[in-house]
A and B are shown apart, each in its own frame.
Chain A
Amino acid sequence: MKKFNTADIPRTERIGRLLHHTFEKMPEIEADRAVLLTESYKKTENEPMVKRRALAFAHILENIPIVIRPDELIVGSSTKAPRSCQVYPEFSFEWLESEFDTVATREADPFYISDETKATLHEVFKYWKGKTTSELATAYMAPEAITSVEHNMFTPGNYFYNGVGHFTCKYWDVINLGLEGIKKQVWDELMSIRPYDADYATKHELLESMIISCDAVINYARRYSVLAMDMAKECQDPVRKKELLQIAKNCARVPEHPAEDFYEACQAFWFIQQLLQIESSGHSISPGRFDQYMYPLYEKGIYNGTLTREFAQELLDCIWIKFNDLNKCRDAASAEGFAGYSLFQNLICGGQTREGRDATNDLSFLCIQASMHTLLPAPSFTVRVWNGTPNEFMLKCAELTRTGIGLPAYYNDEIIIQSLMSRGVTLEDARDYNIIGCVEPQVGGKTHGWHDAAFFNMCRPLELVFSNGYDKGVMVGIETGDLSEFTTFEKFFDAYKRQSNFQVAMLVNANNSIDVAHAERCPLPFAAALVDDCIKTGKTMEQGGAHYNFTGPQGFGIANMTDALLAIKELVYEKKKYTLEEFKEAMALNYGKGLTPKAAKASTNAVVSSLIAEGKKVDENVIAGIFKMFLDGVATDEQKAKFDKMREDIDAVPKYGNDIEEVDLFAREVAYVYTKELNKYKNPRGGIFQAGLYPVSANVPLGEQTGATPDGRLANTPIADGVGPRGGYDIYGPTAAANSVAKLDHGIASNGTLYNQKFHPSALAGVEGLQKFVMYIRGFFDQKGMHMQFNVVDRDTLLDAQKHPEKYKTLVVRVAGYSALFTTLSKSLQDDIIARTEQVF
């Protein structure tokens, strides 16, 4: 009766053991790649850069230690220890050297590093001084842009320190044609070029480099084949021996030749996924539409009886764990912005075919099951939803959401396809999109999207309006005039726009400088062999060889800026209750409140150093006194009372997130300040800039660098998450908040928008709960919302909400037909509810 085979498959014991092994120890930093890379670079200094990259890639793959971990069916590990990382000094290294002693103990994503590795890397790094992409990027940047970066107007740190990544290659070509097929395409192109062609030199070098790179990968797979064979010889356990022999056979065939069965396809997929990340340090290298390109061999195996659903499931589970075996060490600041050891390898299921029919298949369901079996953050498992998505699929997705791991993320074809088409993507390509990294749509195998190019903090330009362009005594923006000149709200808002526009221009400069640095210093020939149209154009992706080119920096802080600007509009210009000067004073004094301990410490250090600089004597007591002053707040009691009243008045102004038409349409305008301005700019690869609206997790660390804002937000506290309302200010529940969010123009934010929500498990209880949950998503998507992702609030969260009620002001708990704001209930009632939460399923 059912269209799909959705029967649950139990997890095998192997998967439990693999999980245990993978997560047993803390991840580690390993030096092998950096050493081999440097060895190769030293020998190739007179070669063209693209050839040097290919030769280094080959040298690394020839010599890097390889391991097959116990119980593995899919092999290919970049590091000796599980979940560990290699080092990529060609992009940047100074941060790592300076963080050697703290990287193991930092709060966000710590990595163990041995003294031996530190010493090895210290030697290696000597070679790289002056040769990295980050150093070249800095050299290219305009001084004003550097100032803006230094003052945290935006942070382009992602690609400043690391490879770009953020693409989906043609896994399907590797599976169907093998690297031998790719090589043939390259050879054909090589045969067609003539010595007198204008681009002969660069194209010829690149095509040769592609051949070297493909051979390097084939050779690497063969090393695994030999290792598996050797291990099989030693193996006493007949079952494992047989598995190892099968692994040896697989690795001898793929990815060189076309995969003949589903198992080989899985192994071929994995080598590509792994080695693209060895070539560069890019993150968000995303598998894309896995259920589509893997399906033909799955179907064939099931049809001719050579594959069981159970074995296919076990292979998928193995791949899911392998995604978590790859890791990356970022600098401390970036680690906070991308917290959770995530590489954002986004794997998407469902959606439409290129012809516009529903694409859901049995493999889509096995992918959901794999995430349920492993309950891991990787892959970033996501699904496409369109009007024709079967409910059966949605209900299975909702079951995964109910586990509380925050997956899958849901994406709306009905807005994304038109959004991509507005950027020049063809209809068929647009229907074939997948998501990169967090939320960024692109056409896999054809795009260099440069998504996630920078975090643009929309709150900072407003601070510059109040200071006439200055930050900490330095001119960072432009002069928009004294506050007294803003006689109307329009003039004030216009000043915000001009400050913002200036920072957008600086951001473009920073991004384009980094872009050129990557093209010059780190072209990636292996990735180029697997992305259209690099072979034809004879350019790597970094040089503009991809079919579609974009740069997508993401803005965040819409909710704060909407609420802030509306507070000023109403309280200063309409009711005339306060002046702009009073707002300025309140913000400068943080509304009379003390700073967070972290910020108080930083401010104390600044004051102490300036006192010392003035030659004053500073003892422990003075320092303690200054620290206490910052903790308590520097305002007088009279000022504090006034600011408390002011914040009450600010709170009374209507807020974004409550389905209030005027407020939400203003939010749309605020988002346009960023999104429309960005549309004007072009990148060096011949593409355009397109805005995203999401902060990943950077709303917290970048909030720490943002002063108090006119929405009543205190200094150094988090900025609102994604495109959602500010925590605690959406008081009419999930439909009202979603309606507000849907009123933004998601179509123009073609680099993606992000809307996170918290739900109580009772909202998803039983089949009926799942159905209503699915209809809630569909109701939001009917209004052209783009993305939705859910945290199902569990018992631990409720316990945390008891301890920190301020963080959970709008947490609604729904129990048996009655609902309440959790934090307004008494302790004993909360305990009742916590007890009930466990009973929900």
Chain B
Amino acid sequence: MENYLKARGRIFDIQRYSIHDGPGIRTIVFLKGCPLRCRWCCNPEGQEWEPVEMLVEGKPKLYGEDITVEELMPRLITDEFYYMRSGGGITLSGGECLAQPDFAPHLLHACKDMGYTTAIETTGYQKWEIIERYLPYLDYVLMDIKHIDSAKHKAFTGVNNELIHENARKFATSGVDLTIRVPVIPTFNNTPEEIRAIAEFAASLPGVEKLHLLPYHRLGQGKYDGLGREYTMRDIEPMTRDYMQSLLAEAKKSGIYCQIGG
């Protein structure tokens, strides 16, 4: 057996006590680098593969750390009491965790060895034969479907959506527990028609039971300032609660279970 514990990857953050990203109490490992460039991205420091310096509370901090599975595990084991009690475990996020196939599957493997549940938060943008390397070690997939219209998808994220939708179908029949998530972004996909279309797509996938609508927030804004990057969504106001409720009602018409928030 190859020594998967020696696999090396690049991460930029670890967040403990995560309770909104999969079952139970989880630790999220944020993997560096993403093929998409979503305008609203709340982790812009994770987009580039290269480490970046970001000002946090006025002080520069480097984001991007190369680490092996073996070195990383002790930092995840610390919360094992909580995973075991709650059915929680490790969630890989990013960046895009599918973009590190020589590392992420091995990390998931090590987590399964410990008896933790595993999850990924993903754009789904990767060749399926590469994704298949993740599947044996994966319990939950939280996957974004951002827009049904490919051109608009490309305009706001930098990539077309065909591959993503195709992969969503494959995930749906692969045996993992799949949840579809929709970042609801004003000016991009927040009309009732657009949300309804996404919900119907999700409902058409066999075995998908849940759809989460994640309302747009501006919490990433400070990070853009810290990176010296322009935040093009600056003037966009978050939606009201009532408006989100109306979108939820719209999404529910598709027949799938829907909720606001993760």
Q: Which residues of A contact B (CB under 8 A)?
A: 659, 732-736, 739, 763, 769, 771-772, 775-776, 778-780, 782-783, 814-820, 824-826, 829, 832, 839
Cβ-defined partner of A735 (8 Å) among B57, B82, B214, B219: B82
- The answer to whether A824 touches B222 (Cβ under 8 A) is yes
- The answer to whether B24 touches A817 (Cβ under 8 A) is no
- The answer to whether A775 touches B86 (Cβ under 8 A) is yes
- The answer to whether B85 touches A816 (Cβ under 8 A) is no
CA distance A235 to B17 in the complex (A): 60
CA distance A816 to B261 in the complex (A): 5
User: From A733, which residue of chain B is reached at the shortest CB distance?
Assistant: B17
- The answer to whether B82 touches A832 (Cβ under 8 A) is no
The 9 lowest CB-CB distance pairs between A and B, nearest first, are A775-B86, A779-B82, A817-B262, A779-B81, A816-B261, A775-B85, A733-B17, A817-B20, A735-B17
- B25 at the A interface (CB under 8 A): yes
CA distance A459 to B243 in the complex (A): 54
- The answer to whether B215 touches A816 (Cβ under 8 A) is yes
- The answer to whether A814 touches B20 (Cβ under 8 A) is yes
- The answer to whether A778 touches B85 (Cβ under 8 A) is yes
Given contacts A736-B78, A782-B81, are A814 and B19 in contact (CB under 8 A)? yes
Given contacts A817-B21, A832-B218, are A779 and B15 in contact (CB under 8 A)? no
List chain A residues, Cβ under 8 A from B56: 824
184-237 of chain B: CB within 8 A of chain A: 214-215, 217-219, 221-222
List chain A residues, Cβ under 8 A from B215: 816
- The answer to whether B217 touches A779 (Cβ under 8 A) is no
List chain B residues, Cβ under 8 A from A735: 16-17, 25, 78-79, 82
List chain A residues, Cβ under 8 A from B214: 816-817
Cβ-defined partner of B238 (8 Å) among A732, A779, A817, A832: A832
Q: List 24 A-B contacts (CB under 8 A).
A: A659-B78, A735-B78, A739-B78, A772-B88, A775-B25, A775-B85, A775-B88, A776-B86, A782-B84, A814-B19, A815-B261, A816-B20, A816-B214, A816-B217, A816-B260, A816-B261, A816-B262, A817-B261, A818-B42, A818-B217, A819-B15, A824-B57, A829-B219, A829-B221
Q: Mark B11-33, 1 if CB is under 8 A from A, else 0.
A: 00001111111001100000000
CA distance A817 to B82 in the complex (A): 18
User: From B82, which residue of chain A is reached at the shortest CB distance?
Assistant: A779
List chain B residues, Cβ under 8 A from A826: 221-222
- The answer to whether A825 touches B17 (Cβ under 8 A) is no
List chain A residues, Cβ under 8 A from B260: 816
List chain B residues, Cβ under 8 A from A780: 81
CA distance A659 to B25 in the complex (A): 17
Given contacts A772-B86, A775-B24, A779-B81, are A839 and B241 in contact (CB under 8 A)? yes
CA distance A772 to B16 in the complex (A): 13
List chain B residues, Cβ under 8 A from A819: 15, 18
User: From B14, which residue of chain A is reached at the shortest CB distance?
Assistant: A732
- The answer to whether A775 touches B238 (Cβ under 8 A) is no
- The answer to whether B85 touches A734 (Cβ under 8 A) is no
CA distance A211 to B42 in the complex (A): 74
CA distance A815 to B219 in the complex (A): 10
CA distance A735 to B84 in the complex (A): 13
List chain A residues, Cβ under 8 A from B218: 829, 832
User: From A763, which residue of chain B is reached at the shortest CB distance?
Assistant: B19
User: From B214, which residue of chain A is reached at the shortest CB distance?
Assistant: A816
- The answer to whether B217 touches A832 (Cβ under 8 A) is yes
CA distance A779 to B222 in the complex (A): 34
Specify which of B20, B57, B215, B238 lies most central, judged by the most chain A CB atoms within 10 Å of its CB: B20
CA distance A775 to B219 in the complex (A): 28
Cβ-defined partner of A776 (8 Å) among B17, B20, B219: B17
List chain A residues, Cβ under 8 A from B88: 772, 775
Cβ-defined partner of B85 (8 Å) among A739, A779, A832, A839: A779
Measured CB to CB, the closest approach of chain B to A200, in angstroms, equals 58
CA distance A769 to B23 in the complex (A): 11
Cβ-defined partner of A736 (8 Å) among B16, B238, B261: B16
List chain A residues, Cβ under 8 A from B217: 815-816, 818, 832
Measured CB to CB, the closest approach of chain B to A463, in angstroms, equals 31
List chain B residues, Cβ under 8 A from A769: 19
Q: Mark B38-61, 1 if CB is under 8 A from A, else 0.
A: 000010000000000000110000
User: From A764, which residue of chain B is reached at the shortest CB distance?
Assistant: B19
CA distance A779 to B78 in the complex (A): 11
List chain B residues, Cβ under 8 A from A815: 217, 219, 261
User: From B58, which residue of chain A is reached at the shortest CB distance?
Assistant: A824
List chain B residues, Cβ under 8 A from A820: 219
Q: Mark B238-256, 1 if CB is under 8 A from A, else 0.
A: 1001000000000000000
List chain B residues, Cβ under 8 A from A775: 24-25, 82, 85-86, 88
User: From A813, which residue of chain B is reached at the shortest CB distance?
Assistant: B219
CA distance A735 to B238 in the complex (A): 31
- The answer to whether A783 touches B81 (Cβ under 8 A) is yes
- The answer to whether B222 touches A772 (Cβ under 8 A) is no
Measured CB to CB, the closest approach of chain A to B88, in angstroms, equals 8
List chain A residues, Cβ under 8 A from B79: 735-736, 739, 779
- The answer to whether A772 touches B19 (Cβ under 8 A) is yes
List chain A residues, Cβ under 8 A from B238: 832
CA distance A175 to B3 in the complex (A): 69
Specify which of B85, B88, B215 lies most central, judged by the most chain A CB atoms within 10 Å of its CB: B85
Specify which of A733, A776, A825 lies most central, judged by the most chain B CB atoms within 10 Å of its CB: A776
List chain B residues, Cβ under 8 A from A814: 19-20
Measured CB to CB, the closest approach of chain A to B85, in angstroms, equals 4
- The answer to whether B17 touches A734 (Cβ under 8 A) is yes
User: From B260, which residue of chain A is reached at the shortest CB distance?
Assistant: A816
List chain B residues, Cβ under 8 A from A771: 86
List chain A residues, Cβ under 8 A from B222: 824-826, 829
List chain B residues, Cβ under 8 A from A659: 78
List chain A residues, Cβ under 8 A from B261: 815-817
CA distance A826 to B219 in the complex (A): 9
CA distance A739 to B79 in the complex (A): 8
Cβ-defined partner of A818 (8 Å) among B84, B85, B219, B221: B219
